[in-house]
Chain A
Amino acid sequence: MSEVMIRVNKVSKAYERGNETLVVLDQLSLEMAAGRFYALMGPSGSGKTTLLNLVGGLDQPDSGGLFVAGENLAELSSSELAHWRSANVGFVFQGFNLIPVLSAIENVMLPLSLTPLSRAERKKHAELALELVGLKDRMHHRPKQLSGGQEQRVAIARAIATDPKVILADEPTGDLDRASAQQVLELLSRLNAEYKKTILMVTHDPHAADYAQSIVHLDKGQLGRIEDKQPAARGA
C-alpha cells in the first residue's frame, strides 16, 4: 500500500439517546491510502457519516486513534483541530451548505481568509477554483440564483480552494438530479486523478460508488469488506 493518508485505529463512538446508548462505531480499524478515491457505503445507521465527521475532525471518538494527513487528531485541541481542518480537509455536504448571504466567489474565498494570502491572491485562487468546476461565469451569483448542481460545484470549489490533501464528501449527489450528479462525480474523479486528492465519499448510490477506486462497506459500526476496483469509464 502506498502512503497512508487516513488511519483509523480501534475507533469507537456511541451516542446517548434518552436512556439508551447507541453504538455507532465499534472498534473500527481502517487504513486509506493517499491519492485514492474511496466510497463509503452501508445501510443507514452503519456509521458512515460518523466516520466521515471523525476523519474530518468535526467530532471526537470515544476511544481509539485517528491519524489523518500525518496528524493524530486525538491530540489536538478544538482550536488546533480548526486550524488543521482549514489546511488539510475540504468538506462537501449533501445539502451544499453554502452561506446564503454570500456570492459564489465569496463562499469560495471564505476558507482562504484563514490563510496568509492577500485579498487579491485569495480572489485569484477562488476564481481558479470556480474555473476548475466550470462556474467562473456564475461567480457573482448568490446560492439561491444557482441550480442544485451548480451549488454543489461551488461547494466543491470551496472545498478545494485551500488545496487540502483530503476531500470528504457526505452524499454529495443525494439532492441532485442524474445529470448534475454525474457532473459532480466526474469532478470529484478529476480532482482525484489530476490533483491526487484523497477523497472519501459517503454514498448510498452504487452508481456514485462506481466512480471510486475502492468501496469500503460498513455494517453496524464495523468494517464489512473493501472492494478495490478500477474507476468506472468517464462519461459512459
Chain B
Amino acid sequence: MAKPGKDSGWGNPIVYVAALLLIGLMLGPVLYIILGGFRTNSQITVDPAGLPHPWEFGNYTDVLTSETFWRQVGNSTIVAVATTVGVVVLGVMASYVLARYRFRGRGAMYALFAAGLMFPVTVAITPLYILVKNLGLVNTLPGVILPQIAFGLPTTIIILVPFLQAIPKEIEEAAAIDRCSRLGFFWRMVLPLSVPGLITVGILAFIGSWNSYLLPLFILNNQDTFTLPLGVQAFASQYSVDTAKVLAFTSLSMIPALVFFSLFERRIVGGLTGAVKG
C-alpha cells in the first residue's frame, strides 16, 4: 500500500490541516459520547457542548456495576461468537466447494449466494419473525443466531472464494501425490493457509452481529434476552432524564466493536474492498 521511496518528505501542509479538520468532524460525536459520560447532568444542561469539569466517574462505575449491563454484554457476546463460528465454518466449507470443485450447478450456487448480498435482513424481517416464532425460538438467542448466520453467508462466501482459489494448484497436486484425499487436503492445507481470510470474515461477522438491531428488535422482547443495542435503546428511554448515564452506557457498549476493528483494521478494509472489487 505504501509507496516506497516517496515517503521521505512531509508533503503539503494544507493537506494536514484538512485531514485534521476531517478527523475532528468524524470523531467529534464519538468524543461527545465518551466525555459526556464523565460529566454530571447539571454540567450537560448548563453547557451542552462543554468538557467535564470536574470529571465525574460515577456514571461509568454505576453502569459497570449494574447487572443489566453485564447480562446484555453476555447476551451480545454469546450471539456474536456463535454467529461468527457458524458463519466461518459453514462459509469456508461452501467456499471450498465453489473454489476448488468443478461441477454442474456451480455457477448457479455462486449466483444464489451472491444475490443474497443485495438483500439485507430488512426485506425478509417480517416473514423471518413468523418463521422463528413457528420454530419456537422467539425470545431465545438461537432465534437471532440462526438467521444471522444465514444472512452472513453471502459476504463470507464472496470474500473467501477468491481467497481459496488463490491457493496454488501445485500444492493440491503435491498433496494428491502424497495420497492425501481432497478432504484431507481441505483439512490439512486449505484451512491453515486460509486463516487470514477466515479472520477477515470472522471479524466482519462479529462486528455485524454486535451492532445488529432490527433482528433482535423483532425476536427478543424479553428484557432478560436483550443484546446491547436493544439495551442501549431501552436504557436511553428508561433514563431519558439521566443523559450522563445514558452516554456512559452508550460509550461502554461500543468498546468491543472499536477494539476489534482497530486490531484488525487492515484485514477488514482489505476484505471489504476485495469483496466489492471481486
A, B from the same assembly: no
